[in-house]
Structure 1
Amino acid sequence: MSEDTQSPETPESPETPAESGKPVIQYDDFDKLDLRVGKVTEVADHPNADKLLVLKVDLGSETRQIIAGIRGHYSPEALLGRDIVMVTNLAPRKMRGLESNGMLIAAVAQTDEKSDVVVLTTEKPVPPGTPLLVGHERTPLPLAGWRGTRSMSIRKTQQLGCRSSCCGTFWALRVSLTRWGRSPTTQNIWQNLCGAA
């Protein structure tokens, strides 16, 4: 597409790994992250910081407090009740006097005028505490209150379900379920969880 016909609102393509300046890591390094779906149950402005929000997140077996630098991009009301994706095994960290016990996942779309923060959420409800697995299948962890188990894999796609689009990148959640001894097909998973054909 020529520069004359390109939409001015289209974000620039994200940097390649080499351009980002970050080192290449091994798969095992990334696999150390414990990524889970959590439901936001409370949101408030940080009392000591203009750019921070304080979130309480239900992870199924426990509720965590996390601090996120997204004030100005999201109001507390806009986040309340959302199913977000977060890193749950980060070491606790004090942020302007309040402890944060995790980190939500978000993308930043950069345009000439401003940066727009997009929090990664699920398109349809997912039980709090559901783990996300990256790139391969493994034995999923049990979920409290479920007769079966549920696991997730995250992968790049430009077509299917549960996606947050930012900088031209789409992420989809592919869910494999084992419930009451049943193993639904991938197509049924997309239809039931993500509403995709």
Structure 2
Amino acid sequence: MKQLFITSAFVLLSLLSYSQDQKWSVEANYPIQLIKDRSDPKLAFDTSLKYRFLNTDLVHLGLDFNIGFERYKPGVNNDDTFKFTNYILQPKVFAEFDLPFVPKLHPVVGLGYSVFFYEQSGSISGVQLNSDNNSDGGFNLELGVTYDISKRFFIQAKYDYIRLHNKGVSTIDGESFSYNFTDNIDRLKVGVGLRF
């Protein structure tokens, strides 16, 4: 195990020191719900791996693959056991711009599709709520800005809009109900990144 860790660290440091064009980046973000009628997640994170396949003096075009996790525990009573967990996949294409007059600031635009895999179970105020493991999806638009701390490290803030189509079956106190509706999700992501 120790040898694997040392080898992995050596490979990562080699990539960081010898990569000249920095086509790859990794990011870690904290997502914040902007609509307050939703419960805030008790645990949430978002990670991303980006690859830039076209680099010019003005714009960098690439592919972005986000993976997110959110766990909610809404309820008002201590007896409430309801839990709702989202696993989010967000593949997208993005454009990152270089501004000649502010070289450390980079506006970013991304378009893609979000897929939510979720599970829910437990009770709220004595009412048992369950759902099969479901997946929903929808159009995703991302607008943001990154600021370079150094050549490799940056901080960022992004607005994430998802037009999510929900369809499935839920069970409330043993009775099944089907649902089919569209929902708008507005989130702010703040985080850090590393180019290599």
- What TM-score do you get using the length of structure 2 for normalisation? 0.28
Which of the two has greater strand per residue? 2
Larger Rg: 2
**Higher RCO by CA contacts (8 Å cutoff, separation 6 or greater):** 2
